[in-house]
Structure 1
Amino acid sequence: MQSNDDILCILHMLQIIIGVFGNGLLLFFYAFNLVTGQRIRPIDPIFVNLFLSHIVMILFRGVPNAIQLCIQKIFLSDTECKIIIYLQRVARGVSLCNTCLLSVFQAITISSNNNKWAKLKGKAPKYIVPSCVFMWVLNLLVDVVVPLHVTGPGNNTFSDLKKNLGYCSIDWHAITTSNLIMWKTLYDAVFLGFMAISSGYMVLVLFRHKGQVQHLHSTCVNPIATPETRATKIILLLMISFVCFYSLSSIFVIVMEKSKDTSQLIIHILLFFNSIYSIVSPFVLISSESQILNWCNIFKRIKNSHPHY
């Protein structure tokens, strides 16, 4: 049992390090561009907001769980548990909203240039920053009642109705009877619906664009894709990843809710699927971000130009 805890401890620490590094690198990259005015794109504030929410989620979800596994010590009070669980849920909600906003904005960007879409394209960038701020305010309000149903591990009140998360407990019975889960599910479904519609529209535009390219470049063996097309494919990949991991984590949440005695294995699997999107998504973007790749090539050339003696 001790060896299993040691393995889980190492895995959680690796998740935290990799996740914070990837999101921190991109957060610095996009924030640096916004501050210095270099290569600013309307979509950059969405990325900054997305990676900031990922860092908050990784730190407030991964660090307490890693400490509990590695040190095997109860270290949180009721108040600290309430704050941590609240910020976890807020960051997860902001991640969902920003991923949806990313999908919708990209769908508008690659839309046709008729009069209606042209007006929307011109207005959309003006509302990005207010939308990012609104995402945080909205999720702070949506999950404001969650801390009322969270207690620390040392509080045994209504322990038979609680599901232990290792370092904190959530009263699922109270959440269910208050219809909080139903409203939260409906809330998530609205954003997932917008995500699905915009993603479907982007796929349709890409197919049309592919047909046009094949017609115009029938003599070209491998025509170069436009930056908009590459960006759309990457965002679609992020949408698919988010939906897959969200669906898997939702399944384990249902299993936890229905089971009388939740095993630690299910809890760790749930934590893994809840965190994996925030860990993987920045590296998907790093692999496609030409400016970051150019920076890496420059550092590599500088290193090679100064050989060690």
Structure 2
Amino acid sequence: MSLIKNILYFQSVLGALANMCLLFFYTFIILVHRSKPTDLISCQMTFIHIVMVLTGGDIWLTDVFESLNFENDFKCKATFYINRVMRGLSICLTCLLSVFQAVTICPSTSLLTKFKHKLKKYMIYVFLLIWSFNLSFSSYQIFFVGAFTNMSVSNQMKVTKYCSLFPMNYITRSLILTVTVSRDVFLVGVMLTTSTYMVIILFRHQRQCKHLHSISHMRASPEKRATQTILLLVVFFVVMYWVDFIISCTSVQLWKYDPVILTVQKFVINAYPTITPLLQISSDNRIINMMKNL
């Protein structure tokens, strides 16, 4: 287990540092350079992923709370609530990024063209709606998560060293599960739909370019590189999300969390926020040029 814990620490350090660097670059680009609308989405995602890395592995935030002598019950509620909010925001903003990129690269003859200016105009309202929904919806974690005690062990499902989940009545559990699954299935469906649309556009563009240039000498445009990066992020997110979803559902149904399975789930949870900044940094010429000039 010590080796696995060291791997989680390494993953957390790598994810935190990569996202902090990316947050610095995006903040600088937004404040100093001419930024793109997708930069605002990516900047928020980067901040969210920093918090996810610090809370998802139950490593960093727990250590902070212990050093400040916070009570275990408050520590558990805060950690689980923050992590659930950030995970909800991550899937919402990944979906928004996918939709925005699909609208950005759509041909002028497409029906989506009329939404280009509307998306930019109402972007701030979309952000407020996304944050408000996730902050309010995830509040149930405050009532059904708490410090683990040795009393009534059968009524608790221990998920970390100090924290456990408390049982819910059938109606509450069904309602939360229905809303969560409906939200996630809808957003994943939108991501897959927009991704398919972007793949079709890229394929058509590549086929048209064959008639004008040799593919081996054709240089990919910034829009094409950005689209390819977002496609990779969406595919990776969907795979990691469903692995995490299957592990969570299986554990809740059995009302038991195996320590090894829990460790694997922590690794899966941190995989997306760790890989995302590395992909974005390697595909954005603005960031690469800034790093060269440092």
TM over 0.5: yes
> What is the DSSP-based 3-state SS (H/G/I as helix, E as strand, rest coil) of the residue aligned with 1:202?
helix
Aligned equivalents of 2:216, 2:257: Cα separation in 1: 56
Aligned equivalents of 1:78, 1:13: Cα separation in 2: 24
Contact kept in structure 1, 2:92 and 2:130, CA below 8 Å: yes
Q: CA deviation at 1:39?
A: 2.8
Q: Does 1:87 align with 2:82?
A: yes
> What is the DSSP-based 3-state SS (H/G/I as helix, E as strand, rest coil) of the residue aligned with 1:169?
strand
Q: Does 1:14 align with 2:10?
A: yes
CA deviation map 1:94-148 (0-9, x unaligned): 0000000000000000111137433211222122233223221110111111211
Aligned equivalents of 2:11, 2:83: Cα separation in 1: 16
Name the residue aligned to 1:286: 281
Residues 1:35 and 1:16: Cα distance change in structure 2 (over 3 Å): same
Q: CA deviation at 1:285?
A: 0.7
- Please tell me the residue identity of whatever aligns with 1:118: T
CA deviation map 1:242-262 (0-9, x unaligned): 001011111111221233542
Q: Does 1:32 align with 2:28?
A: yes
Residues 1:260 and 1:65: Cα distance change in structure 2 (over 3 Å): farther
Residues 1:84 and 1:96: Cα distance change in structure 2 (over 3 Å): same
What are the equivalent positions in structure 2 for 1:293-304 lying under 5 Å apart?
A: 293-299=288-294
- Please tell me the residue identity of whatever aligns with 1:188: D
- Aligned-pair identity in percent equals 32
CA deviation map 1:146-193 (0-9, x unaligned): 21110112x345431322111311125547753112221111111111
Unaligned segments of structure 1, at least 5 residues: 300-309
What are the equivalent positions in structure 2 for 1:160-309 lying under 5 Å apart?
A: 160-166=154-160, 167-174=162-169, 178-179=173-174, 180-217=176-213, 219=214, 221-299=216-294
Residues 1:66 and 1:47: Cα distance change in structure 2 (over 3 Å): closer
Q: CA deviation at 1:51?
A: 0.8
Aligned equivalents of 2:96, 2:116: Cα separation in 1: 14
Aligned equivalents of 1:175, 1:23: Cα separation in 2: 39
> What is the DSSP-based 3-state SS (H/G/I as helix, E as strand, rest coil) of the residue aligned with 2:85?
helix
- Please tell me the residue identity of whatever aligns with 1:81: C
Aligned equivalents of 2:173, 2:62: Cα separation in 1: 32
Contact kept in structure 2, 1:111 and 1:205, CA below 8 Å: yes
TM-score when normalising by structure 2: 0.90
Return the index of the structure with the highest Cα Rg. Answer: 1
Q: Does 1:56 align with 2:51?
A: yes
**Structure with the greater relative contact order (CA < 8 A, sep ≥ 6): 1 or 2?**
2
Residues 1:63 and 1:43: Cα distance change in structure 2 (over 3 Å): same
Task: Give the aligned CA root-mean-square deviation in angstroms.
Answer: 2.3
